[in-house]
Structure 1
Amino acid sequence: MTGPVFLVMPQWQGSPSSRAMQLIDGAAAIKEDLPESARREVPVPLEAGDALGTPAARLSSLLRARASALEILRELEGPAITLGGDCASTLPGLERVVERHGAERVAVLWFDAHPDLQHPSTSPSGAVSGMALRHALGDGIDDLAFPDPVGATHVTLVGSRAIDDEEDLELERRELHRIGHIFDATVDVEPDPAPLAAAVRDRLEDLVRDHGVSHVYVHVDLDVLDPSEFAAVHAPVPFGLSVAQLTAAIRAATETVPLAGAAVCEFAPADRAAADEDLPTVLRVLAALTARSRNDGA
């Protein structure tokens, strides 16, 4: 089995944060710890870009980065893990996975404090990060919406807890599956990672049995983690997952269904000291994503 390729994509134009360019520093910090032989770099435009007459901010730069990423992804044989960008950077990798395996065969695990289901017409910021899953489901700006959309039945939101009213309606309309309150966040003890891992494993086993799923795509926005464990994100959300919960759930997923691809998004350290403090957590997430390929002798 061929091990995953790490796709470094320091895209910041999809973020709503005034400090979005900190993502570039996060991507640089991650890059230093990746083996050069397994690393590819996506050229991301330096300029903010233009909305091109749409409600999607900085769309021109996002489209250029997407095209560059897809060009690289289509040359690869094995899974790719996209790193270092905002949540919209997940879209090229997921789109390629759907191209390769078919939407009906891919389960999507969305580890994120936000469901990213905003619609361009009503988004308060116009930031594409908040619309990422909506576009993967085939809805939104024509140039970003997937031509072969991910099936709502195949999507599982894990750890989402900051949901606006429209997103809540979309969750209900599409009947998206959620895994969330697996632990009591008010208890001042380390949460047991086993229940969340078991819930993820059971969910994927159901999708394999009932829908013929053969692969999983794992999206990780690092704000899914509790701020007490990981601070280097733009908008920390209380009562998140522990690092142990997240990594155990990812390992359970890739032990159940082969990994087709992944993205680890929103590493935005304020300075080098913050990067050094939180980078080990990012590397633990990468270790969980690649554990199966290492164990298989890749």
Structure 2
Amino acid sequence: MAITLVPYHQDERLPDSSFPLPEFDIIPVTRDLPDGDVWTRVAALCELVSAEVADQVSGGTVPAVVSGDCLIAEALLAGMQRAGVDPAVIWFDAHADIHSLESSTSGYISGMPLRQMLGDHPELLADRIGLRPLAEERVVLVDARDTDPGEAEFLATSKVRVCPVDDVVLPDGPLLLHIDLDVIDKDALPGMKFPVGDGPSREAVLESVRRIMSTGRVAAIDLACPWDLPEGDDNTIRARVLADLLSA
């Protein structure tokens, strides 16, 4: 199985050791990023990812992409749309990632991709990579148990469906399956940048993913690995989690 590896957190190039994928063939996507603000740099990277995804989808392959954060999911959606596939999005994440520029108190841009997929501030990234906005009812947010007030306010009046890991109701049609690995409880997968407790086990997430994959409707899968590796850690747990999810 070939994995498209995008070894970045936003515009920061991460060491290859951050992504333990010894069981897979790797298609790396890297480039010298242009000068400019972070959105310009991320857009340049996402354009390469979008083109790779579009080529794979057009060729009948289900792309599997691994990266260091959730922004790359926007590139997957744009690439799928470019190839003529208009998927719904199933978004596994301990966080909602549905901030706008106005609602975010931290300014952390990796907390904004899902809102941008819905059409927020398209000039930042979507317009640059040809991403068309999703209808809210085409998004399912899974186990987002750590939401900020601005996100909760938006979700309270939106048509985005929010559900637990063990009760994911799927929209019709093809699916983009996005999994931020911090959806797993922090004690079951240590070392995350933004760990959240009271979450599902690795086994519960894997079983949910297997149920979704068994529908045969997943047209692309995206794994975000926003972790800080503890010093001396041998990556065994992370390697197993990645292998299990990518083989589901």
* TM-score > 0.5 by shorter chain: yes
SS at match of 2:247: helix
| 1:98 counterpart = 2:81 | yes
2:209 match: 250
CA distance in 1: counterparts of 2:82 and 2:154, whole angstroms: 25
* Paired amino acid for 2:80: V
Matched, 1:261 2:245: no
- Asked if residue 126 in structure 1 is aligned to residue 107 in structure 2, the reply is yes
Between Structure 1 and Structure 2, whose CA radius of gyration is higher?
Answer: 1
The partner residue of 1:6 within 3, 8, 18 is 3
Deviation (angstroms), 1:272: 5.1
**Distance in 1 separating the partners of 2:93 and 2:230:** 20
Shift, 1:283, TM fit: 1.5
Decide whether the 8 Å contact of 2:137 with 2:161 is kept in 1: yes
Quote the Cα distance in structure 2 between the aligned partners of 1:31 and 1:275. 7
Q: Distance in 2 between matches of 1:94 and 1:271?
A: 35
Tell me the residue number matched to 1:81: 64
Equivalent residue runs for 1:287-298 within 5 Å: 287-288=247-248
The correspondence of residues 58-207 of structure 1 with structure 2, limited to 5 A, is 58-76=38-56, 77=59, 78-103=61-86, 106-145=87-126, 147-180=131-164, 196=166, 199-200=167-168, 203-204=169-170, 207=171
Pairing 1:224–2:183 present: yes
CA contact (8 A) 2:185 2:198 kept: yes
Question: What's the secondary structure of 1:75's corresponding residue?
Answer: helix
Structure 1 alignment gaps of length 5 or more: 15-20, 52-57, 183-195, 289-298
Q: 1:147 to 1:217 in 2, by over 3 A?
A: closer
Indicate the structure with greater helix content. 1
Per the alignment, residue 238 of structure 2 pairs with: 278
- Output the CA distance in 2 between the equivalents of 1:251 and 1:277: 19
In the superposition, the TM-score normalised over structure 2's length comes to 0.87
CA distance in 1, matches of 2:209, 2:148: 26
Q: CA offsets per residue over residues 204-224 of structure 1, 9 Å max, x none? A: 2xx33xxxx2x1111111110
More strand by share: 2
User: Where does the alignment leave 5 or more consecutive residues of structure 2 unmatched?
Assistant: none
TM-score, length-scaled by structure 1: 0.73
Task: Check conservation: 1:120, 1:141, Cα contact below 8 A.
Answer: no
